[in-house]
A and B are shown apart, each in its own frame.
Chain A
Amino acid sequence: MIRVALQMLVGDRLKYLGLIVGIAFASLLISQQASILVGLAHQTGSFVRDTSHADLWVMDSEVRFSQDSLALSDNTLLRVRGIDGVQWAVPLYQGFLKAKLPDGTRMTAIVIGLDDATLIGGPPEMVQGKLGDLRQDKAVIVDYNALESKFMMKRGGGRPIQVGDNLSINDQDARLVGTYRASQSFFWEPVIYTTYTRALQYAPRERKLMTYVMVKLKPDADVAKVAASIEAATGLKARTNEEFIALTRDYILKETGILINFGLAVGLGFIVGTLIAGQMLYNFTLDNLRHYGALKAMGAGNGTLVIMNLIQALTVGALGYGIGLGLGSLLGQLVGSAGLAFRMPWQIPVLCGVAILIICLIASALSISRVLKLEPAIVFKGG
């Protein structure tokens, strides 16, 4: 009877396609919106992830996310270096500074100053030049992928900046000596790397300028113990990479409303899918009510009819799920290559599959209840 159920389903082409399209739409919406949400969440941690040389980040206890630059006093570095279990500790500057391109195009950029001696905390991959080139006079490097967008000269240059160009940061000279490639960041501002000392020269004069202390532990050191020791000695907060990524992600998702917005979109996909699939499956059942009645009269039990209905719902569910997920992935490839956030870990297809399964079960429940209540006597004309 399973084959009979499938033949009934496939035979009504219009409703069959409508059901698949409805569920595919729900699957697309759920998987795509969830993937964008995960992609955005992932991007919020890209800076910390790309700067994973350290085991611990020492920061002001009120820091809320990775770009929340709350300065530390200079002697923090020395105090951290003196704590048992610390192999090395280097300073990192991060601040929002005004930058000007050669043609006068102005922008606010995130300037990151790396420890002069080690250049620890630098980007993961250089495209043009070497990281060591930062030791040259007035040297800075910028994101290669942002050349055509964020570093495009708009005031007559008509081209992106290139290695050798002079620019200014807070009205002080800088020279582009290389480009790097980093993970796509959630933050829109262009990022400029330089050395720690030069970054302090660019930054406005303040009593405290150091943003983070990056700490590497000795091989046998216990992360939690060292972190506790640092916090006790400095009154600051010491976070692992994972903790810092989670702090940033949670803050941005909650404070920007992204979670709610994308959550609503995912929920909407679920509701729309349920409504479309439910209504169409119910209509399909109503259209076939006489046939179900005939089957019931001929001895098909409720169990058989329930299985037939479930098979029909699950078939369109599986097809719609596959098509929707495929389209979602394709769309993800397209927007991903355009630099937009899209990330589909294996959990998303699984969760989307569960959601589609629930949609199918809800949709078929309506139809099943109708079939179960059906009196087989309807097959006879009243008289």
Chain B
Amino acid sequence: MSPATTLTPPANAVSGETASNGIAIDCKGVTKHYGSGSSRVTALRGIDLDVRFGELMMLVGPSGCGKTTLISVIAGILDRDEGQCKVFGVDFNTMSAGQKTSFRGANVGFVFQAFNLLPTLTAEENAAIPLMILGESRGSAIKRARDMLARVGLGDRGRSLPSQLSGGQQQRVAIARALVHNPRLIVCDEPTSALDHETGHKVMELMREIAVGPDRTLVIVTHDARIFEFADRIAKLDDGRVQSITSGKGVASGGAK
């Protein structure tokens, strides 16, 4: 898949550098602190991590280990304090707030633990939001959202409100929303923790099936060991550091296409 829309990187970005070596996300020495003075907490302590194109990377670890902070930095919704982190060759810290917002809109898809679907919008309207944010007309956006909902198996539920859908169906709508604008990076925060085992398994199967591709990178934060099998690689974090990076079953099963 090729990205539908990409933001022109800032002048100091090294676009293409990472693509040539197959690295989509390149983090070196990423540090992040919260608070100041005596209440200062260090969430990330010099994280080194790279994620390749076509790879499904899981960030795992106990609560408070920094995995959500790391995914927020990777997704460009949180600024790091030190170190370097390039996403598709672009360093968020060199961008203005507006540039970061535009970059996210065009290149990043989000799947949240609590789905975060707007309760008053239908499934197809929810799924169409990223396109509308990018300025696509409502009619066209809804049409593309409907197609994407069909791909996640909800072709007949486009006009349902989130409250009329099960948890698994809501998460599938959220996946459709994350994919509808064809982003290069998809970040997922505990995508299965609100779902039962069977539904969570189906959601992950769906993610592997339609979200993973040679031009796309998935980063999933989870502590749900039952879905580790879907990862290509698993980075285990603890106390703000990467403790280990191991291969998951995703590689063995041919997940990284």
Contacts and interface: CB of A to CB of B under 8 A. Distances in A.
Same complex: yes
Interface of A: 1, 3-4, 7-8, 10-12, 290-291, 293-302, 304, 375-377, 379-383
B221 A383 contact: yes
Contacts of A7: 118, 120-121, 125
Complex A-B, nearest 8 residue pairs according to Cβ-Cβ distance, in ascending order: A299-B105, A11-B120, A383-B68, A294-B116, A376-B77, A377-B72, A377-B78, A380-B189
Contact of B120 (A8, A376, A377, A382): A8
Interface of B: 63-69, 71-72, 75, 77-78, 97-98, 101-106, 108, 110, 112-114, 116, 118-121, 125, 129-130, 132-134, 138, 177, 189-190, 221
Given A377-B72, A377-B78, A298 B133 contact: yes
Main secondary structure of the interface of A (DSSP, over half): helix
Given A301-B102, A375-B77, A377-B78, A11 B119 contact: yes
A298 B113 contact: no
A299 B120 contact: no
A8 B106 CA distance: 24
Given A4-B132, A298-B104, A300-B133, A380 B118 contact: no
A297 B104 contact: yes
A227 B68 CA distance: 85
B138 A3 contact: yes
Nearest to B67: A383
Given A1-B133, A299-B105, A380 B71 contact: yes
A295 B112 CA distance: 12
A297 B73 CA distance: 12
Given A1-B133, A4-B132, A12-B120, A299 B112 contact: no
A296 B78 CA distance: 12
Contact of A299 (B67, B71, B78, B130): B130
Contacts of A376: 77
Given A7-B120, A11-B119, A290-B114, A381 B68 contact: yes
Nearest to A12: B120
24 contacts: A4-B125, A7-B118, A7-B121, A11-B121, A293-B116, A294-B110, A294-B116, A296-B101, A297-B75, A297-B77, A297-B110, A298-B105, A298-B129, A298-B177, A299-B104, A299-B105, A377-B72, A380-B71, A380-B77, A380-B189, A380-B221, A381-B189, A381-B190, A383-B63
Contact of B113 (A10, A296, A299, A381): A381
A266 to B, nearest CB: 36
B116 A290 contact: yes
B114 to A, nearest CB: 7
Nearest to A304: B133
Given A11-B119, A294-B116, 9 more contacts: A4-B125, A7-B121, A298-B130, A301-B98, A376-B77, A377-B72, A379-B112, A380-B113, A380-B221
Nearest to B102: A299
A298 B134 CA distance: 10
Q: Which of A293, A296, A297, A383 has the most CB of B within 10 A?
A: A383
B134 A299 contact: yes
A37 B11 CA distance: 64
Nearest to B75: A297
